[in-house]
Structure 1
Amino acid sequence: MATTTNAVKLGNALKERRTELELTIKEVARRSGMTDSNVLRIERGDIPQPRPETLKSLADVLGLELSDLFNLAGYVQPRTLPSFSPYLRSRYADLPESAAKEMEASFARIAAKHGYDPSGPYDGEDERE
């Protein structure tokens, strides 16, 4: 489920990366086959959930992970993702088990510090229409 928050986060991530690469909106539009106005609207968060093929084009032009853009756009629901532990164990497979546990504990502390509760509710779950 896409939300306004998703659209703004996606737009901010795209604009930040475009700025890092020193690309203009016009250049991103040209390279992605989009119009300038659509790139600008996505960056401003005016398009709640851009089409997957649009995200693919932007990911290719900006050198971003498509899965990250899908997540920011609200296509991937947090409950469908694995926990952080399997990622750590895969990504840092050469580290000892104790290091993986230490990273998990560090992540849990950071998440708690910022008010993250892994048991939910997730964005949009507790809103009423």
Structure 2
Amino acid sequence: MKRRKTPEIKNAALGEFIKARRESLNITKAEAIRRSGLDYSYWVKLEAGIYQMPSPKALDLVAEVIEAKPADLYALAGYRIEGELPNFRPYLRSKYYLPPEAIDQLESYFNFLRHQYGIPEDQPVFPPKPRDEGETEERRAS
């Protein structure tokens, strides 16, 4: 009898994020698949982390179902989106290999900063520095 080859996990962070988000919204896998219009095996493999870089179109559909920013899924999948940053947790998962407890602690600290400084949820904790009107492109690059 032939043994089945176990698929290689290529993007565990993306799969874990999608599954955790879906479950936190109390959406069954079957319901998520129905809402997205994706094939059953595609969704299952996506949650299992089998796809290294799934199609952006599929990620858009998944983001809508799990009520996440597409940029969050793109970051976890390894895509770079100019001008848009993912939320904190997906960014940390895509940039660093940290245990979930460490990410929870960092999120907790940033939430503390938000509360301490009265920063609304829809604004960054540390907004970009205002540009100096007289600043030239060459000075910014150096």
Secondary structure (helix, strand or coil) at the match of 2:44 reads helix
Partner of 2:32 in structure 1? 28
How well do the aligned residues superpose, as a CA RMSD in angstroms?
2.9
- Give the match for residue 40 of structure 1: 44
Please list every run of 5 or more consecutive structure 2 residues that lacks an aligned counterpart in the other structure. 1-8, 86-113, 118-124, 127-142
Deviation digits for residues 8-45 of structure 1, max 9, x if unmatched? 10000000001101111111111001112111100001
Partner Cα distance (1:39, 1:66) in 2: 16
Normalised to the residue count of structure 2, the TM-score between the two structures is: 0.50
Alignment of 1:99-118 (within 5 A): none
The correspondence of residues 48-59 of structure 1 with structure 2, limited to 5 A, is 48-59=52-63
- Per-residue deviation at 1:50? 0.7
Identity %: 35
Aligned residue pair count? 82
Structure showing greater radius of gyration is 2
SS at match of 1:63: coil
Q: Which runs of 5+ in 1 are unaligned?
A: 82-91, 96-102, 105-129
Bigger proportion of residues as helix: 1
